[in-house]
């Protein structure tokens, strides 16, 4: 088939702030927020590394522990809940945090990456950290960071993790729901001693860092298991589940599985009030949640919701007082940027942060289940370290037309190379554009009133899209 290629030499514009500003040399506390943020972005950011080495030298938990000790070990001043997995971590963490908040707890939430605003990563009771709080925390962490720079300077993510813990301690959080960044075993967040661990759905992702098999990836995620700390997970690939069970037994931690050890079910329905949506039921000796509406679209979110409910129930066994009706009310209020989010109505433009094959498959199914359309154009861009072939195989089953482009990440894959691989896999025509504005122009010229444009493939790309339409 013929590949239609559209290129532009215009400079890329819009999107998440990911470039590294010039090094700040000031030795005094920062007077302005902008100056402090510039300093933060001078630190090594593995999210922006083109060739990331994943080992104990690059990801050094001793370095993280040292930094935390220099700022007073704030992570020991509140309870924590740790969540790892390939997909659904942020959704599960947000649902759990909102249900705890509805029960009167002061809840910290640490997630990554962000869609548009760096402050999205750190929240207290659903509110993002303020600029003044961020400025104060960067000033406080500045001397410890510079002291360590003489040995091995903390990274951007390590500093952000320390800042989140400091903020939770400063605001006297009762508990913090903490999402891992990359993997689990060597992740900077793996210094906490949680009350509970959750593992979301596991699939192939970050193969160069975490391993090429589902068992290897499960081993990295299971690295957050702690002696005696209960673990809740969802139904997994048999090889992955075997690894999780083996690692849990090794640290004498009990592991429970929704839909196996925990009575859990979900169903799809539609109603005049809520439109197409999923409902879940979960029953344990201490909780009974019946027909709760899942606040986010897709069967995958029903599974994430079940995990969040099971984790909430398990917290009752470690001293938390939970009212199920209050929890249900909190769940109903959950909103999450970048997950099947409609950012424009004319034409209809949907964004979703699906960034691996399983997520693309779930997205295509969720759109088909929840959103009526005549034809769907997918604008797709992803990073080089992803399971590109797997993602492209899933795209062909949902997209009527694909336009490949790239985000402003240094790790973004070439649109032309993505197009070549897609043609080889699907034998379908596609287009490519050098940046998102050009891709949107191509898509808009081809859609009708009842059509849908879906932008997906990476947080960076959907962040650019959301920022672009916020500004318009």
pLDDT tens digits for range 41-62: 998 765 555 445 545 556 679 9
Q: What pairing do the DSSP bridges indicate for beta strands 122-124 and 127-128?
A: antiparallel
472: burial class by Cβ within 10 Å (0-12, 13-18, 19+)?
exposed
Q: What is the pLDDT of residue 25?
A: 44
Nearest CA to 222 out of 180, 258, 188, 260 is that of 180
Q: What is the pLDDT of residue 472?
A: 63
Q: What is the pLDDT of residue 208?
A: 52
Query: Quick check: 24 pLDDT over 50?
Result: no
The pTM (predicted TM-score) of the whole model is: 0.90
Q: Give the pLDDT mean for 130-155.
A: 93
Average pLDDT, the chain: 90
CATH 3.90.190.20 domain position(s) in the chain: 338-471
Q: List pLDDT tens digits, range 223-246.
A: 999 999 999 999 999 999 999 999
Q: What is the pLDDT of residue 203?
A: 85
Please state whether the peptide bond connecting residue 152 to the residue before it is cis, i.e. omega within 30 degrees of 0: no
Q: What is the pLDDT of residue 60?
A: 79
Confidence of residue 17 (pLDDT cuts 50, 70, 90): very low
CATH 3.40.1190.10 domain position(s) in the chain: 33-332
Highest CATH level, class, for 33-332: alpha beta
- Domain 338-471, what fold? 3.90.190
Q: List pLDDT tens digits, range 48-103.
A: 554 455 455 566 799 999 999 999 999 999 999 999 999 999 999 999 999 999 99
Q: What is the pLDDT of residue 47?
A: 55
d(CA 303, CA 443): 32
């Amino acid at each position: 088939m013929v590949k239609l290629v559209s290129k532009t030499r215009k400079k890329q514009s819009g999107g998440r702030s990911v470039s590294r500003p010039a090094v700040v040399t000031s030795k005094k506390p920062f007077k302005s927020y902008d100056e402090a943020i510039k300093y933060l972005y001078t630190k090594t950011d593995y999210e922006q590394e083109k060739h990331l080495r994943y080992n104990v030298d690059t990801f050094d938990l001793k370095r993280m522990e040292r930094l935390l000790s220099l700022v007073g070990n704030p992570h020991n001043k509140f309870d924590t809940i740790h969540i790892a997995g390939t997909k659904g971590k942020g959704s599960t963490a947000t649902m759990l945090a909102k249900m705890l908040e509805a029960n009167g707890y002061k809840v910290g939430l640490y997630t990554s990456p962000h869609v548009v605003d760096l402050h999205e990563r750190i929240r207290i009771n659903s509110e993002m950290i303020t600029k003044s709080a961020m400025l104060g925390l960067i000033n406080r962490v500045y001397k410890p960071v510079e002291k360590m720079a003489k040995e091995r300077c903390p990274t951007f993510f390590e500093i952000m993790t320390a800042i989140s813990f400091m903020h939770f301690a400063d605001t006297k959080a009762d508990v913090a729901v903490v999402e891992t960044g990359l993997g689990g075993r060597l992740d900077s967040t793996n210094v906490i001693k949680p009350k509970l661990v959750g593992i979301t759905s596991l699939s192939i992702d970050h193969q160069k860092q975490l391993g090429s098999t589902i068992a290897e990836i499960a081993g990295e995620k299971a690295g957050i298991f702690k002696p005696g700390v209960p673990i809740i997970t969802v139904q997994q690939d048999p090889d992955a589940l075997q690894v999780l069970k083996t690692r849990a037994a090794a640290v004498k931690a009990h592991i429970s599985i929704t839909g196996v050890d925990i009575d859990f079910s979900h169903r799809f329905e539609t109603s005049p009030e809520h439109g197409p949506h999923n409902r879940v039921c979960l029953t344990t000796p201490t909780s009974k949640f019946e027909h709760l509406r899942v606040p986010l679209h897709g069967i995958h979110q029903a599974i994430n919701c079940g995990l969040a409910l099971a984790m909430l129930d398990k917290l009752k066994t470690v001293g938390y007082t939970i009212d199920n009706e209050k929890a249900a009310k909190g769940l109903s209020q959950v909103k999450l940027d970048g997950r099947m989010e409609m950012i424009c109505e004319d034409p209809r433009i949907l964004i979703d942060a699906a960034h691996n094959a399983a997520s693309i498959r779930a997205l295509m199914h969720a759109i088909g289940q929840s959103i009526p359309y005549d034809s769907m154009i997918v604008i797709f861009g992803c990073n080089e370290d992803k399971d590109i072939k797997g993602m492209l195989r899933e795209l062909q089953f949902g997209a009527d037309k694909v336009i490949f482009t790239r985000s402003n990440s240094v790790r973004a894959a070439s649109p032309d190379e993505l197009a070549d691989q897609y043609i080889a896999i699907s034998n379908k025509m596609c287009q490519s554009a050098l940046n998102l504005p050009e891709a949107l122009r191509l898509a808009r010229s081809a859609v009708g009133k009842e059509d849908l444009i879906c932008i997906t493939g990476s947080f960076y790309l959907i962040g650019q899209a959301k920022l672009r339409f916020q500004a318009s």
